[in-house]
Amino acid sequence: MRTAIVVAALAAGVLAPGTAVADQPGTVSPFIIGGEQSPAPYTFMARLGDGCGATLISPEWALTAGHCVGVGSRLRIGSLDRTSGGEVAQVAQAIRHPDYQGGATPHDIALLKLSAPAKSTPAKLADKATDESPTRLLGWGATSGGGSQSQKLKQLDTAVIADSNCSSGQTEDPFDPAGDLCIETSPGSSACNGDSGGPALAGSDGNWTQIGVTSRGATGCDGSQPTIYTDVGAHIQWIKETTGLTFSRP
Protein backbone atom coordinates (compact mmCIF):
# COMPACT_ATOMS: atom_id res chain seq x y z
CA MET A 1 0.00 0.00 0.00
CA ARG A 2 1.14 3.53 -0.73
CA THR A 3 1.87 6.01 2.04
CA ALA A 4 2.04 9.66 1.03
CA ILE A 5 4.96 11.42 2.64
CA VAL A 6 5.11 14.92 4.01
CA VAL A 7 8.55 16.41 4.56
CA ALA A 8 8.97 18.95 7.34
CA ALA A 9 11.05 21.94 6.30
CA LEU A 10 12.46 24.87 8.20
CA ALA A 11 13.00 28.22 6.56
CA ALA A 12 16.61 27.17 6.09
CA GLY A 13 15.69 24.05 4.12
CA VAL A 14 14.20 20.56 4.16
CA LEU A 15 14.78 18.34 7.17
CA ALA A 16 16.75 15.17 6.67
CA PRO A 17 14.84 11.88 7.00
CA GLY A 18 15.71 10.09 9.61
CA THR A 19 -0.54 0.01 25.44
CA ALA A 20 -2.60 0.21 27.07
CA VAL A 21 -2.69 3.85 27.80
CA ALA A 22 -2.47 5.53 31.15
CA ASP A 23 -5.59 6.23 33.16
CA GLN A 24 -4.52 9.82 33.78
CA PRO A 25 -2.27 12.24 31.89
CA GLY A 26 1.28 11.97 33.14
CA THR A 27 1.05 8.28 34.04
CA VAL A 28 2.36 5.64 31.73
CA SER A 29 1.37 2.51 29.88
CA PRO A 30 2.23 0.76 26.34
CA PHE A 31 5.64 -1.95 25.90
CA ILE A 32 6.35 -4.15 22.93
CA ILE A 33 5.44 -7.80 23.45
CA GLY A 34 6.81 -10.20 20.87
CA GLY A 35 8.79 -8.80 17.97
CA GLU A 36 12.56 -8.69 18.26
CA GLN A 37 15.39 -6.62 19.62
CA SER A 38 16.27 -3.87 17.16
CA PRO A 39 19.56 -4.78 15.46
CA ALA A 40 20.53 -1.14 14.92
CA PRO A 41 19.49 2.22 16.40
CA TYR A 42 17.00 4.58 14.78
CA THR A 43 18.42 8.10 14.69
CA PHE A 44 15.04 9.67 15.49
CA MET A 45 13.83 7.26 18.20
CA ALA A 46 13.87 8.79 21.67
CA ARG A 47 13.19 7.82 25.26
CA LEU A 48 11.26 10.41 27.26
CA GLY A 49 12.17 10.24 30.94
CA ASP A 50 11.89 6.61 32.00
CA GLY A 51 8.37 5.87 30.90
CA CYS A 52 7.58 6.84 27.30
CA GLY A 53 8.86 6.91 23.76
CA ALA A 54 9.06 9.91 21.44
CA THR A 55 10.18 10.74 17.91
CA LEU A 56 12.51 13.54 16.85
CA ILE A 57 10.72 15.31 13.96
CA SER A 58 13.04 18.32 13.56
CA PRO A 59 16.20 19.53 15.32
CA GLU A 60 14.07 21.44 17.85
CA TRP A 61 10.88 19.37 18.13
CA ALA A 62 9.85 15.85 19.14
CA LEU A 63 6.48 14.10 19.02
CA THR A 64 4.97 11.93 21.77
CA ALA A 65 1.61 10.99 23.31
CA GLY A 66 -0.45 13.54 25.21
CA HIS A 67 -0.62 11.26 28.24
CA CYS A 68 3.19 11.12 28.32
CA VAL A 69 3.51 14.79 29.22
CA GLY A 70 4.91 14.93 32.74
CA VAL A 71 6.86 11.65 32.76
CA GLY A 72 10.20 13.40 32.28
CA SER A 73 12.03 16.40 30.88
CA ARG A 74 14.92 14.62 29.17
CA LEU A 75 15.12 12.84 25.83
CA ARG A 76 17.69 10.19 24.98
CA ILE A 77 17.82 10.12 21.18
CA GLY A 78 19.21 7.50 18.82
CA SER A 79 20.26 4.84 21.33
CA LEU A 80 19.31 1.17 21.55
CA ASP A 81 19.65 1.32 25.34
CA ARG A 82 16.99 3.22 27.27
CA THR A 83 19.39 4.45 29.97
CA SER A 84 22.69 5.07 28.17
CA GLY A 85 24.20 6.20 24.88
CA GLY A 86 22.78 8.37 22.16
CA GLU A 87 22.25 12.11 22.31
CA VAL A 88 20.67 13.65 25.40
CA ALA A 89 18.38 16.66 25.02
CA GLN A 90 16.33 18.68 27.50
CA VAL A 91 12.65 19.46 26.98
CA ALA A 92 11.89 23.15 27.40
CA GLN A 93 8.15 22.98 26.72
CA ALA A 94 5.46 20.33 26.24
CA ILE A 95 2.28 21.11 24.30
CA ARG A 96 -0.68 18.73 24.24
CA HIS A 97 -3.20 18.82 21.42
CA PRO A 98 -6.00 21.21 22.46
CA ASP A 99 -8.70 18.57 21.87
CA TYR A 100 -7.06 15.92 24.05
CA GLN A 101 -9.29 15.25 27.07
CA GLY A 102 -6.81 13.22 29.11
CA GLY A 103 -6.49 9.50 29.78
CA ALA A 104 -7.42 6.99 27.09
CA THR A 105 -9.11 9.40 24.67
CA PRO A 106 -8.56 10.60 21.08
CA HIS A 107 -6.08 13.32 20.05
CA ASP A 108 -3.53 11.71 22.37
CA ILE A 109 -0.57 13.58 20.90
CA ALA A 110 1.88 16.19 22.15
CA LEU A 111 4.83 18.22 20.90
CA LEU A 112 8.05 18.65 22.85
CA LYS A 113 10.14 21.79 22.26
CA LEU A 114 13.81 21.13 22.92
CA SER A 115 15.97 23.63 24.80
CA ALA A 116 18.65 23.39 22.08
CA PRO A 117 18.72 21.87 18.57
CA ALA A 118 19.49 18.16 18.44
CA LYS A 119 22.13 16.84 16.05
CA SER A 120 20.42 13.52 15.37
CA THR A 121 18.58 12.94 12.08
CA PRO A 122 14.81 13.47 12.46
CA ALA A 123 12.04 11.29 11.06
CA LYS A 124 9.85 12.17 8.13
CA LEU A 125 6.11 12.42 8.75
CA ALA A 126 3.42 10.72 6.68
CA ASP A 127 0.20 12.53 5.84
CA LYS A 128 -1.80 9.36 5.24
CA ALA A 129 -1.78 5.68 6.12
CA THR A 130 -4.05 3.25 4.28
CA ASP A 131 -5.62 0.01 5.49
CA GLU A 132 -3.31 -2.99 5.29
CA SER A 133 -0.23 -0.75 5.21
CA PRO A 134 2.70 -2.61 6.80
CA THR A 135 4.00 -0.79 9.86
CA ARG A 136 6.81 -1.20 12.38
CA LEU A 137 6.35 -0.39 16.07
CA LEU A 138 9.26 0.65 18.30
CA GLY A 139 9.58 0.83 22.07
CA TRP A 140 11.23 -0.08 25.35
CA GLY A 141 7.94 -1.13 26.94
CA ALA A 142 7.06 -4.24 28.90
CA THR A 143 7.76 -7.53 27.17
CA SER A 144 4.82 -9.20 28.93
CA GLY A 145 1.63 -7.97 30.58
CA GLY A 146 2.68 -6.67 34.00
CA GLY A 147 6.34 -7.37 33.19
CA SER A 148 9.37 -5.10 33.39
CA GLN A 149 10.53 -2.70 30.71
CA SER A 150 12.99 -3.80 28.08
CA GLN A 151 16.49 -2.39 28.50
CA LYS A 152 17.08 -2.60 24.76
CA LEU A 153 14.87 -1.17 22.03
CA LYS A 154 12.42 -3.64 20.50
CA GLN A 155 10.59 -3.61 17.19
CA LEU A 156 7.47 -5.37 15.94
CA ASP A 157 6.26 -5.58 12.35
CA THR A 158 2.48 -5.48 11.95
CA ALA A 159 -0.07 -3.53 9.89
CA VAL A 160 -2.70 -0.81 9.85
CA ILE A 161 -6.12 -2.47 9.63
CA ALA A 162 -9.61 -1.21 8.82
CA ASP A 163 -11.23 1.23 11.25
CA SER A 164 -14.12 -1.20 11.67
CA ASN A 165 -11.83 -3.44 13.74
CA CYS A 166 -11.54 -0.69 16.37
CA SER A 167 -15.01 0.86 16.15
CA SER A 168 -18.39 -0.12 17.58
CA GLY A 169 -17.20 -1.25 20.98
CA GLN A 170 -14.50 -3.62 19.72
CA THR A 171 -11.86 -1.88 21.85
CA GLU A 172 -11.92 -0.90 25.53
CA ASP A 173 -11.16 2.73 24.78
CA PRO A 174 -12.89 5.19 22.42
CA PHE A 175 -11.70 5.17 18.81
CA ASP A 176 -11.96 8.17 16.49
CA PRO A 177 -11.67 7.12 12.83
CA ALA A 178 -10.90 10.73 11.89
CA GLY A 179 -7.86 10.94 14.15
CA ASP A 180 -6.75 7.42 15.11
CA LEU A 181 -5.18 4.40 13.43
CA CYS A 182 -6.22 0.82 14.17
CA ILE A 183 -3.10 -1.36 14.44
CA GLU A 184 -3.24 -5.14 14.21
CA THR A 185 -2.18 -7.21 17.23
CA SER A 186 -2.30 -10.87 18.14
CA PRO A 187 -1.68 -12.89 21.32
CA GLY A 188 1.99 -12.48 22.15
CA SER A 189 2.52 -9.58 19.73
CA SER A 190 1.47 -6.05 20.68
CA ALA A 191 2.50 -2.73 22.14
CA CYS A 192 2.23 -2.56 25.93
CA ASN A 193 2.97 -0.41 28.99
CA GLY A 194 5.97 1.83 28.38
CA ASP A 195 5.69 1.96 24.59
CA SER A 196 3.37 4.98 24.83
CA GLY A 197 4.43 7.94 22.74
CA GLY A 198 6.64 5.89 20.45
CA PRO A 199 6.17 5.68 16.69
CA ALA A 200 4.42 3.47 14.20
CA LEU A 201 6.55 3.61 11.06
CA ALA A 202 6.03 2.95 7.38
CA GLY A 203 8.77 2.29 4.85
CA SER A 204 12.01 0.36 5.16
CA ASP A 205 15.49 0.64 6.63
CA GLY A 206 16.97 4.02 5.79
CA ASN A 207 13.63 5.39 4.58
CA TRP A 208 11.23 5.34 7.53
CA THR A 209 8.31 7.73 7.96
CA GLN A 210 6.13 8.10 11.04
CA ILE A 211 2.44 7.38 10.59
CA GLY A 212 1.29 7.04 14.20
CA VAL A 213 1.95 7.64 17.91
CA THR A 214 1.38 4.80 20.42
CA SER A 215 -1.70 5.65 22.46
CA ARG A 216 -3.93 2.94 23.97
CA GLY A 217 -4.91 -0.72 23.90
CA ALA A 218 -6.22 -3.72 25.82
CA THR A 219 -5.68 -4.07 29.56
CA GLY A 220 -2.91 -6.59 30.17
CA CYS A 221 -1.57 -6.21 26.61
CA ASP A 222 -2.90 -9.67 25.75
CA GLY A 223 -3.33 -8.96 22.04
CA SER A 224 -7.06 -9.62 22.20
CA GLN A 225 -7.85 -6.21 20.74
CA PRO A 226 -6.12 -3.95 18.21
CA THR A 227 -3.90 -1.18 19.53
CA ILE A 228 -5.00 2.40 18.91
CA TYR A 229 -2.41 4.83 17.58
CA THR A 230 -2.89 8.56 17.10
CA ASP A 231 -2.85 9.29 13.36
CA VAL A 232 0.03 11.68 12.59
CA GLY A 233 -1.41 12.67 9.22
CA ALA A 234 -4.70 13.72 10.79
CA HIS A 235 -2.79 16.11 13.07
CA ILE A 236 -0.32 17.52 10.52
CA GLN A 237 -1.98 20.94 10.43
CA TRP A 238 -1.77 21.29 14.21
CA ILE A 239 1.89 20.21 14.16
CA LYS A 240 2.60 22.77 11.45
CA GLU A 241 0.84 25.62 13.22
CA THR A 242 2.38 24.85 16.61
CA THR A 243 5.98 24.33 15.52
CA GLY A 244 6.22 26.81 12.65
CA LEU A 245 7.49 24.00 10.44
CA THR A 246 6.20 23.88 6.88
CA PHE A 247 5.19 20.75 5.05
CA SER A 248 5.41 19.91 1.37
CA ARG A 249 5.19 16.75 -0.66
CA PRO A 250 8.56 15.68 -2.09
Q: Write out pLDDT tens, residues 218-228.
A: 666 666 788 89
Q: What is the mean pLDDT of residues 196-215?
A: 92
Q: Write out pLDDT tens, residues 89-117.
A: 999 999 999 999 998 899 999 999 999 99
Q: Which domain holds residue 205?
A: 1-250
Q: Is the pTM of this model over 0.75?
A: yes
- The string of DSSP letters for 125-193 reads EES---TT-EEEEEE--BSSTT-PBPSB-EEEEEEEE-GGGTSTTSSSS---TTTEEEE--BTTBB--T
Q: What is the mean pLDDT of residues 144-159?
A: 79
Residue 243 has pLDDT above 70, yes or no: yes
Residue 13 has pLDDT above 60, yes or no: no
What is the DSSP-derived secondary structure letter of residue 98? T
The confidence score (pLDDT) of residue 208 equals: 93
CATH of the domain at 107: 2.40.10.10
3-state secondary structure of 38: coil
Nearest-angstrom CA–CA distance, 172 and 226: 10
pLDDT bracket for residue 206 (50, 70, 90): confident
Number of domains in the chain: 1
Nearest-angstrom CA–CA distance, 129 and 210: 10
